[in-house]
Amino acid sequence: MFRSALFIRIAGFLLVAGLCQSAHAGSILTSNAGVEVYKSWVVLTQGYSSGEQVGGAHITREGETASIAYGLTGNLLIGMDAVVTRMVGASKSPSVEPDLRVKWNFWSKLSPAHYHRLALQARLGVPLGGPTNYFLDQGYVGPGGSHLRFVKPTVVPTVDLIYSRATYRWVYGAAAGYSAPTADRNGLRLGDVKKASVDAEYAFWRGERSEVSFVVGGMVRQFGRAQLGGASFSNTGGSDAVVSGGIQYAPVPTLTFEASYSTDVWSVMRPGQPRMGNEILFGMRILR
């Protein structure tokens, strides 16, 4: 899981930084319906490593995500993200996947003791570099005799509806999302992805300015079948469920660190669809 030098550097940096300092209001690794900043910037960086399996192939997906966002108002945030991914075991060059993001907190019900918020988040990703998505196609023989077909969509539009509720020590919420990758230049299209998730965060320790929280979550995903020219690959697609747990530390209101671990607890994937194993994430958020 930690084999690549890149990931070791990322994880090392975040861990060392985490010992020194950290931010609040919902898991930083899970989108919530709030806008973290007002006429100011928020920067989020995270390192991750996850294992995947399809057929006899084991692939480790490692990388880093960097995000910068600006709160136009308390209800509207615009952001840019860039995901750098390295596929260990797939002999593919690192990919960079930038995207543009808008989050609109269109409804709030506020009170001094709690709030409810609903937000819509739209994202448009533009994959660059090597592909990071693939499936197993026994009728295809790629470089080295591999049956893995890698796909790089032209753009990946995604929309999420997010609900968050917060009380004094709890922040919890739910989200539903849909992602529909476009076809690559060969006309090969990945299946769409529907997902639903819940998450909760409990601040179990609060200092004068600092805070430590437990973070838990669960997600169900459904993957559609890959397609080529209108015909679908019958052995792709499926569903899975993932649970996660982690800890968040915010030494000051403007800085937060979070580490979480996710694992696949239920999976009904067709033979050609990669199955997620375990994933570890480290994240750091800075409000400016």
Partner 1 sequence: MKNTALFLALMISSGATASAEVTKVYLQLEGCLRATCSRKVWQALGRTVQSSSFKVDDAAEGTAEFIPAKNAPLNLRALNKSIHDAGYRVKRVAIEVDGNSTLAVANQKCSQEAIPQLWLKEAQTQKLYEWTPSVEDLKRKTSEDVQVCVVH
Binding segment (CB under 8 A) for partner 1, from list 8-16, 21-29, 148-156, 224-232: 21-29
Q: Site for partner 1 (CB under 8 A): which residue of 5, 16, 20, 39?
A: 39
Q: Site for partner 1 (CB under 8 A): which residue of 20, 56, 112, 139?
A: 112
Count, residues near partner 1 per rule CB under 8 A: 33
Identify the residue whose tokens are 């300015």. 209
Task: Give dist(CA 46, CA 18) in Å, integer.
Answer: 12
Closest approach, Cβ 211 to partner 1, in A, equals 7
Task: Give dist(CA 116, CA 280) in Å, integer.
Answer: 29
Question: With contact defined as beta carbons under 8 Å apart, do 27 and 259 qualify?
Answer: no
Strands 275-287 and 156-166: unpaired
Contacts of partner 1 in 118-157 (CB under 8 A): none
Q: Is 28 helix (H, G, I), strand (E, B) or coil?
A: coil
Q: Is 203 in the site for partner 1 (CB under 8 A)?
A: yes
Closest approach, Cβ 136 to partner 1, in A, equals 44
- Residue 188 or 255: the one with the smaller Cβ distance to partner 1 is 255
Closest approach, Cβ 80 to partner 1, in A, equals 21
Q: Is 258 in the site for partner 1 (CB under 8 A)?
A: no
Contacts of partner 1 in 160-179 (CB under 8 A): 166-168, 171
Q: Is 199 in the site for partner 1 (CB under 8 A)?
A: no
Question: With contact defined as beta carbons under 8 Å apart, do 164 and 31 qualify?
Answer: no
DSSP 55: T
- Residue 40 or 91: the one with the smaller Cβ distance to partner 1 is 40
Q: Is 253 in the site for partner 1 (CB under 8 A)?
A: yes
Task: Give dist(CA 250, CA 22) in Å, integer.
Answer: 4
Task: Give dist(CA 194, CA 159) in Å, integer.
Answer: 10
Q: Is 69 in the site for partner 1 (CB under 8 A)?
A: no
Q: Is 37 in the site for partner 1 (CB under 8 A)?
A: yes
Closest approach, Cβ 20 to partner 1, in A, equals 18
Burial status of residue 78 (CB atoms within 10 A of its CB: 0-12, 13-18, 19 or more) = middle
Burial status of residue 212 (CB atoms within 10 A of its CB: 0-12, 13-18, 19 or more) = middle
Q: Site for partner 1 (CB under 8 A): which residue of 2, 3, 12, 73?
A: 73
Task: State phi, psi for 27 to the nearest 5 degrees.
Answer: -60, 135
Return the H-helix or E-strand segment holding 12: helix 5-20
Closest approach, Cβ 268 to partner 1, in A, equals 38
Question: With contact defined as beta carbons under 8 Å apart, do 280 and 15 qualify?
Answer: no
Q: DSSP secondary structure string, 106-152?
A: EEEEE-SS-EEEEEEEEEEE--EES--EEEE-TT---GGG--EEEE-
Binding segment (CB under 8 A) for partner 1, from list 5-13, 172-180, 203-211, 272-280: 203-211
Q: Is 114 in the site for partner 1 (CB under 8 A)?
A: yes
Site string for partner 1, 207-246 (x = CB under 8 A): --x-x-----------------------------------
Task: Give dist(CA 173, CA 216) in Å, integer.
Answer: 11
Note the residues at the interface with partner 1 (CB under 8 A): 23-25, 34-40, 71, 73-75, 105, 108, 110-115, 166-168, 171, 203, 209, 211, 250, 253-254, 287
